Amino acid sequence: MIVTCNPEVAKDILNSSAFADRPVKESAYSLMFNRAIGFAPYGVYWRTLRRIAATHLFCPKQIKVSEGQRAVVAVQMVEMLRDQQNRTRSVCVRDVLKRASLSNMMWSVFGKKYRVDSNDHDSVELRKLVDEGYELLGVLNWTDHLPWLADFDPQGVRSRCYKLVPKVNRFVKRIIDEHRARPSQVSGDFTDVLLSLEGPDKLSEPDMIAVLWEMIFRGTDTVAVLIEWILARLVLHVDVQVKIQEELHRVVGRSRAVTEADVTSLVYLPAVVKEVLRLHPPGPLLSWARLAITDTVIDGHQVPAGTTAMVNMWAITRDPEIWNDPLVFRPERFLNESEGLMDMSVMGSDLRLAPFGSGRRSCPGKGLGLATVSFWVASLLHEFEFGRCDGYDVDLSEVLKLSCEMATPLHVSLRSRPDPSPLEV
Ligand code: HEM
């Protein structure tokens, strides 16, 4: 295995055609994710899936089409937080963020509109299935590293996967059957798209289940985890929170809700999102490693086929050789001309800050993920002031699961922002 903390070497690895594969974890294999985009071996099947997802889920036109849906979920998220604000002084935002993110993905992928606060049987079962799969994929499974342990399944990961798979299959198959039973293209969700494929693109039912389920997974946790980190930073750095609210006041005012068009006019909020991605990248080891499919040379060293490579993005984004005051939370670094970071992209072209990876296996959901996170954070800050609450510190300790999460869930006190003055309406 090779691990790098150097942006140049990282670029060589992530953009090399040799590192186009991923080592498959046992849990990913057992959960059939080797048939979905993230763990599919490099080749025609993987390329086909990326093309289909890029065209029907992730392209700018599709992101625009799903704008209204994200607005509906934002309203429900605010309502649920308001309800909690009325009932308790300390609100744990994680549950609400995960529910919102899951509702949003269920809508895009399955065309299912679960309310964020829903506790009906389907929603509860779905959350259980997602939580269990998320935990299994995040476990450091010793059999992935010590093959001689494989017969023993010491952590019980395999047996839990075997129990989970039929439940997931039943759940997703029922949704696919519902889609088949109605006139085609009713809602144009991703399930409709997969069902409409013909010829060489056509997927078998098990492959379709794997692809749909992966989207739910990847789209749900990353977005919720990143927003929780952003809110934690805003509770700690009240001055930054106030600046975002002042910007929202200038661009949106108090008489109407934020729209995604407003978000494109914001300057300070994107700098805050970048600074949080720098200090708390949800995929700090670029989540999923890369596997060499051919012999290659990296940084002057011979690397044989079969070698696993990891990029330690966490270390790169905290490197004092690269960043001024790397441990200081200072969004302004992306706005001061003198620091030369104003045009820095987080989309993978600059490996000093590449939270979505880079190269052909970089995150296909980065545009959608960033649009969702920025819009929801703007909507939340338009409605509430987030403060510390008695009895709970904002603890920035991390735990690395499938994503790098806050080890202690964030608790906040919420204050509604003042109603618009008649002059502003
Ligand atoms: C804020 C949000 C997100 C972050 C920080 C993030 C991060 C990442 C990272 C670091 C990778 C590995 C890239 C590499 O190896 O170079 C990745 C891959 C991937 N992400 Fe994301 N992601 C986010 C949102 C999403 C969303 C919303 C979706 C889908 C709905 C998604 C779907 C995927 C998929 C399918 C892959 C595998 C790509 C492949 O192997 O070809 N991600 N993501």
Residue bearing tokens 């927003």 = 227
Helix, strand or coil, per DSSP, at residue 411: strand
Cα(239) to centroid(ligand 1), Å: 31
pLDDT of residue 422: 45
Cβ-based burial of 61 (10 A; exposed 0-12, middle 13-18, buried ≥19): exposed
* Atom of ligand 1 at shortest range from CA of 368: 27
Q: According to the model, what pLDDT value does residue 26 have?
A: 79
Q: How far does residue 282's CA lie from ligand 1's centre (Å)?
A: 10
365 neighbors 387 (Cβ within 8 angstroms): no
What residue's CA is closest to ligand 1, atom 9? 356
Residue to probe by mutation, ligand 1, list 222, 308, 368, most atoms within 8 Å of CB: 222
Closest C-alpha to ligand 1, atom 27 = 219
Choose which residue among 3, 137, 218, 317 to substitute to test ligand 1 binding: the one with the highest number of ligand atoms within 8 A of its C-beta: 218
Separation of 228 CA from ligand 1 center, angstroms? 18
Residue 160 Cα, ligand 1 centroid: separation in angstroms? Answer: 25
Give residue 153's pLDDT. Answer: 79
- Domains defined for the chain, CATH in brackets: 2-416 (1.10.630.10)
R_g of the chain, CA atoms, integer Å? 22
Count CB atoms within 10 A of the CB of residue 394.
17
pLDDT tens for each residue of 121-173: 888 898 899 888 888 887 777 887 777 877 787 888 888 888 999 999 999 99
- Determine which residue's CA is closest to atom 43 belonging to ligand 1: 363
Residue whose CA lies nearest to ligand 1 atom number 6: 356
Question: What is the 218 CA–ligand 1 centroid distance (Å)?
Answer: 7
pTM of the model: 0.94
Which residues lie below 8 Å from residue 117, measured CB to CB, with a gap of 6+?
76, 79, 80, 83, 99
Q: Residue 391's pLDDT is what?
A: 87
105 Cα nearest atom in ligand 1:
30
User: Distance, CA 308 to ligand 1 centroid (Å)?
Assistant: 18
CA of 38 to the centre of ligand 1 (A): 8
SS3 298: strand
Strands in 167-295 per DSSP E: 290-291
Closest residue by Cα to atom 3, ligand 1, is 222
Give, using CA atoms, the residue closest to atom 18 of ligand 1. 363
The closest-lying atom of ligand 1 relative to the alpha carbon of residue 22 is: 40
User: Which mean pLDDT values do the consecutive 10-residue runs of the chain (425 residues) have?
Assistant: 94 94 81 86 95 94 95 97 93 96 95 91 88 83 78 83 91 93 76 93 94 90 96 98 97 95 97 98 76 95 95 95 97 96 95 94 96 98 95 93 93 87 43
Residues with Cβ < 8 Å from 390, sequence gap 6 or more? Answer: 89, 90
Has 389 been labeled as part of a binding site?
Answer: no
Sign of CA dihedral 374, 379, 382, 385: negative
SS3 53: helix
**Whose alpha carbon is nearest atom 20 of ligand 1?**
363
| Nearest Cα residue to 281 out of 375, 405, 182 | 405
- Closest-CA residue, ligand 1 atom 19, reads 363
* Residue-wise pLDDT tens digits, 224-253: 999 999 999 999 999 999 999 999 999 999
Q: Give distance in angstroms: CA of 392 to centre of ligand 1.
A: 32
pLDDT of residue 420: 57
